[in-house]
Structure 1
Amino acid sequence: MIELDTDEKVFMGCMVSSFLVYHTIRQIYAYVHAKSQEWIPIGTVKSLHIYPIKSCKPIDLFAFKCTELGPVMGELEDRAFVLVDMATGKFVTGRTQPKLVHMECYMVDGILEVTVPGKPKVSVDLKKVVKNGQIVRAAWLMDLKQDGFDCGDEISELLCDFLGEKDHRLIFNKQGEHLYTERTCAPTDEWWDKNPVPKRRDDSQFTNLAPFLICTDASMRDLNEKMEKKISISQFRPSIEIEGCPAWDEDKWAELRIGDAHLECMAACPRCVMTTVNPDTAEKSGENQPLKAMRGFRVAPEGSMRKMYLDNPIFGVYAGLETKMELDREKKILIGCLASSFIFYHTARQIYTYINAKSQEWVPIGVVKSLHIYPIKSCKPVDLFAFKCTKTGPKMGELEDRAFLLVDESTGRFITARQKPKLVHVETHIENETLEITVPGNIKLVVDLKKVVENGRIIRASLFDNLQQDGYDCGDDVAQLLSDYIEEPNYRLILYKEGLYTERTCVPDEDWWNTPVPKRKDDSGFTDLAPFLIATDASLKALNERLDTKVTMRNFRPSIYIEGCLPWDEDKWAEIRIGDAHLECFAPCTRCVLTTVDPEKGEMSKENQPLKKLREFRLAPEGKMRKAHKDSPVFGVYAGTVKEAYIHVGQTAYARYKPSVF
Structure 2
Amino acid sequence: MLQLSEIWIYPIKSLGGISLDAATVLHRGLEHDRRWMLVDEEGVFLSQRTTPKLALFNTAINGDYLQITHKSHEGEGVEVPLFPKFNLDDEKLTAVVWEDSIESYEVDTTVSEWFSTILNRKVRLVYMPEDSARKVDPKFALTANDITSFSDGYPYLIIGQLSLDDLNARMSAPITIKRFRPNFVFTGGTAYQEETFKHFKIGSVSFFGTNACERCVLTTVDPEKGVILGKEPLFTLSKYKRSGKNVIFGQNVIAKELGNILVGDIITLFSNNE
- TM-score, length basis structure 2: 0.91
Match of 2:198, SS state, is strand
Partner of 1:633: 247
Distance 2:16 2:90 in 1: 27
Distance 2:83 2:212 in 1: 37
Correspondences of 1:190-269 after superposition (within 5 Å): none
Report the residue type matching 2:201 in the other structure. Answer: R
1:644 to 243, 258, 273: 258
For residues 515-564 of structure 1, give each alpha carbon's deviation from its aligned partner in whole angstroms, at most 9, with x where no partner exists.
xx855542121011111111110111111111112111000000011111
Larger fraction in strand? 2
Taking a change above 3 Å as real, the CA distance of residues 451 and 575 of structure 1, as seen in their structure-2 partners, is: closer
| Cα deviation, residue 407, structure 1 | 0.4
| Cα deviation, residue 478, structure 1 | 1.4
Larger relative contact order (CA 8 Å, sep ≥ 6): 2
Which ranges of structure 2 fall in alignment gaps of 5 or more residues? none
Residue 393 (structure 1) aligned with residue 29 (structure 2): yes
Distance 2:82 2:186 in 1: 33
Report the residue type matching 1:385 in the other structure. Answer: D
1:565 to 189, 208, 212: 189
Partner of 1:357: none
Taking a change above 3 Å as real, the CA distance of residues 386 and 407 of structure 1, as seen in their structure-2 partners, is: same
Correspondences of 1:3-152 after superposition (within 5 Å): 62=1
Residue 600 (structure 1) aligned with residue 233 (structure 2): no
Taking a change above 3 Å as real, the CA distance of residues 553 and 448 of structure 1, as seen in their structure-2 partners, is: closer
The root-mean-square deviation of aligned C-alpha atoms, in Å, is: 2.0
Distance 1:554 1:441 in 2: 20
Taking a change above 3 Å as real, the CA distance of residues 536 and 508 of structure 1, as seen in their structure-2 partners, is: farther
1:420 to 51, 54, 71: 51
Taking a change above 3 Å as real, the CA distance of residues 582 and 449 of structure 1, as seen in their structure-2 partners, is: closer
1:493 to 114, 120, 125: 125
Distance 1:378 1:518 in 2: 26
Partner of 2:71: 440
2:139 to 479, 502, 509: 509
Match of 2:194, SS state, is helix
Partner of 2:152: 528
Partner of 2:11: 375
Match of 2:147, SS state, is coil
1:477 to 98, 110, 118: 110
1:609 to 232, 240, 243: 232
The aligned length equals 270
For residues 416-456 of structure 1, give each alpha carbon's deviation from its aligned partner in whole angstroms, at most 9, with x where no partner exists.
11111121221223455533221123312233567762372
Report the residue type matching 2:238 in the other structure. Answer: R
Taking a change above 3 Å as real, the CA distance of residues 581 and 595 of structure 1, as seen in their structure-2 partners, is: same
Distance 1:581 1:481 in 2: 39
Match of 1:529, SS state, is coil
Percent identical pairs in the alignment equals 29
Which ranges of structure 1 fall in alignment gaps of 5 or more residues? 1-61, 63-365, 511-516, 621-625
Report the residue type matching 1:499 in the other structure. Answer: D
Match of 2:239, SS state, is helix
Partner of 1:257: none
Correspondences of 1:314-333 after superposition (within 5 Å): none
Taking a change above 3 Å as real, the CA distance of residues 543 and 529 of structure 1, as seen in their structure-2 partners, is: same
Distance 2:82 2:209 in 1: 33
Larger fraction in helix? 1
Taking a change above 3 Å as real, the CA distance of residues 482 and 390 of structure 1, as seen in their structure-2 partners, is: same
Report the residue type matching 1:456 in the other structure. Answer: D
Distance 1:392 1:654 in 2: 22
2:91 to 450, 457, 472: 457
Distance 2:155 2:20 in 1: 17
Contact 1:585 1:637 (C-alpha < 8 Å) held by counterparts:
yes
Report the residue type matching 2:219 in the other structure. Answer: T
Distance 2:55 2:39 in 1: 16
Distance 1:648 1:592 in 2: 29
Partner of 1:408: 40
Distance 2:82 2:260 in 1: 25
Match of 1:422, SS state, is helix
Partner of 1:618: 241
Taking a change above 3 Å as real, the CA distance of residues 602 and 383 of structure 1, as seen in their structure-2 partners, is: same
Contact 2:161 2:187 (C-alpha < 8 Å) held by counterparts:
yes
Match of 1:633, SS state, is strand
Distance 2:97 2:156 in 1: 18
Contact 2:137 2:153 (C-alpha < 8 Å) held by counterparts:
no
Contact 2:195 2:211 (C-alpha < 8 Å) held by counterparts:
no
Taking a change above 3 Å as real, the CA distance of residues 481 and 566 of structure 1, as seen in their structure-2 partners, is: same
Distance 2:242 2:191 in 1: 15
| Cα deviation, residue 471, structure 1 | 1.3
Distance 2:117 2:139 in 1: 40
For residues 143-199 of structure 1, give each alpha carbon's deviation from its aligned partner in whole angstroms, at most 9, with x where no partner exists.
xxxxxxxxxxxxxxxxxxxxxxxxxxxxxxxxxxxxxxxxxxxxxxxxxxxxxxxxx
Q: Over alpha carbons, which structure has the higher Rg? A: 1
Partner of 1:576: 200
Distance 1:643 1:451 in 2: 25
Match of 2:270, SS state, is strand
Match of 2:268, SS state, is strand
Taking a change above 3 Å as real, the CA distance of residues 658 and 450 of structure 1, as seen in their structure-2 partners, is: closer
Report the residue type matching 2:11 in the other structure. Answer: P
Report the residue type matching 2:168 in the other structure. Answer: N
Report the residue type matching 1:471 in the other structure. Answer: S
- TM-score, length basis structure 1: 0.39
Match of 2:34, SS state, is coil
Match of 2:118, SS state, is helix
For residues 66-110 of structure 1, give each alpha carbon's deviation from its aligned partner in whole angstroms, at most 9, with x where no partner exists.
xxxxxxxxxxxxxxxxxxxxxxxxxxxxxxxxxxxxxxxxxxxxx
Report the residue type matching 1:484 in the other structure. Answer: T
Distance 1:553 1:656 in 2: 26
Report the residue type matching 2:135 in the other structure. Answer: T
Report the residue type matching 2:96 in the other structure. Answer: S
